[in-house]
Amino acid sequence: MGIESSCDETAVAIVSNDKKILSNIILTQLEEHMPYGGVVPEIAARSHIDHLNRLVRRALSEAKIGFDDISAIAVTSGPGLIGGVMVGLMTAKAMAYARGLPLISVNHLEGHALSIRLTEEISFPYLLLLVSGGHCQLLVVKGVGDYERLGTTIDDAAGEAFDKTAKILGLGYPGGPAVEKAAAQGDPNRFKFPRPLKGKPGSNFSFSGLKTAVLRARDQLSAEQDGKLKRQDICDLAASFQKALTDAILDRVQNAMDYYLENYQNKNKMLVIAGGVAANSSIKEQLEGLCDKRGFELKAPPMNLCTDNGAMIAWVGVEKFEGQQFSGLDTGAVARWPLDPDATPAIGAGAKA
């Protein structure tokens, strides 16, 4: 059983060691957070409390099994909104103790990193672009619990930039799908937005300045049009933003590919994209073009496994179960938990490292 509660999805899944997803229940809190234009941690934690026990029962029912058929309970222990993480972890601990089951503590980011191995036969190592609401990283996935971080965001994550841009343009929440939809009707070349860090060495990301550029362009247009933006203006701003962000990502990925080819010779020439932003079709299409040019194969989990879900946590549990990597009932919830603790700190990265 996998339990995920690190942000605004309450999720429970049952996954077998032969890669069958027996149930995968995801309850979103979009409507609860929509009035605020973003996730409110206190609301998120209370919602997890209200719904998690019911979702556990539903997951078992849909899988047509009982607790006697469960081998272990895997749960996100961080990183994430600490209140929500605590709800999931305490629930998992209670069930593990009551049923005498092993507890497996899972890094939420590792859930995204290994989710591709639930649906595809992929061996280690591989290059990973992890793009979500709270994180944007490039890593080499060398094994379960074994990562080399090549780059991270030094300010906003890609998904965070999408949400903030959507708020600036009045497109609503969640921002990623809203901006992508508007961008499909816009001119991506109308506004000359910056490509942060493009051409610089390394694979770190920065999207804060891009978001500010969108804000200034919107304000200038608004001033020129007596405070009213045309729908086409909004679509053009969204398209130009998305193109700039995508160009920046492609530049950073190219640098990571160079490093990977130099340091992991004769290994998988594979780029895996995971996290909520992996659902963006425009970004994925551009990455496919880059991979074709560089001789890489692009892989992504199915759409329902890109966003936060319990199946990816359960699968990490399967991977760790096989290595007998269990956790004690004294395991604590953590807000920060880097996949590569030995990576050089990125200035400004903070919790997103």
pLDDT for the residue numbered 266: 74
The structural domains of the chain, ordered by start, are 2-114+304-339 (3.30.420.40), 123-300 (3.30.420.40)
Distances (CA, A) of 81 to 85, 137, 334: 6, 19, 9
**At CA 56, angle to CA 52 and CA 61, rounded to 5?**
145
Per-residue pLDDT of the chain (353 residues; tens, 9 = 90+): 999 999 999 999 999 999 999 999 999 988 898 888 778 999 999 999 999 999 999 999 999 999 999 999 999 999 999 999 999 999 999 999 999 999 999 999 999 999 999 999 999 999 999 998 788 999 999 999 999 999 999 998 998 999 999 999 999 888 899 999 999 999 999 999 999 999 999 999 999 999 999 999 999 999 999 888 999 999 999 999 999 999 999 999 999 999 999 999 777 899 999 988 888 999 999 999 999 999 999 999 998 999 899 999 999 999 999 999 999 999 999 999 999 999 988 776 555 55
Distance separating alpha carbons of residues 210 and 194, to the nearest angstrom = 6
Distance separating alpha carbons of residues 51 and 253, to the nearest angstrom = 39
pLDDT for the residue numbered 3: 98
pLDDT for the residue numbered 352: 54
pLDDT for the residue numbered 132: 82
Quick check: 107 and 77 in contact, CB under 8 A? Answer: yes
Quick check: 95 and 101 in contact, CB under 8 A? Answer: yes
pLDDT for the residue numbered 267: 78
Q: What is the DSSP string of 305-340?
A: HHSS-HHHHHHHHHHHHHTT--B-TT----S---S-
Q: Are strands 2-4 and 9-15 parallel, antiparallel or unpaired?
A: antiparallel
Distance separating alpha carbons of residues 15 and 312, to the nearest angstrom = 9
Give the DSSP letter of residue 16: -
Give the DSSP letter of residue 8: S
Structure tokens at 270: 């594979």
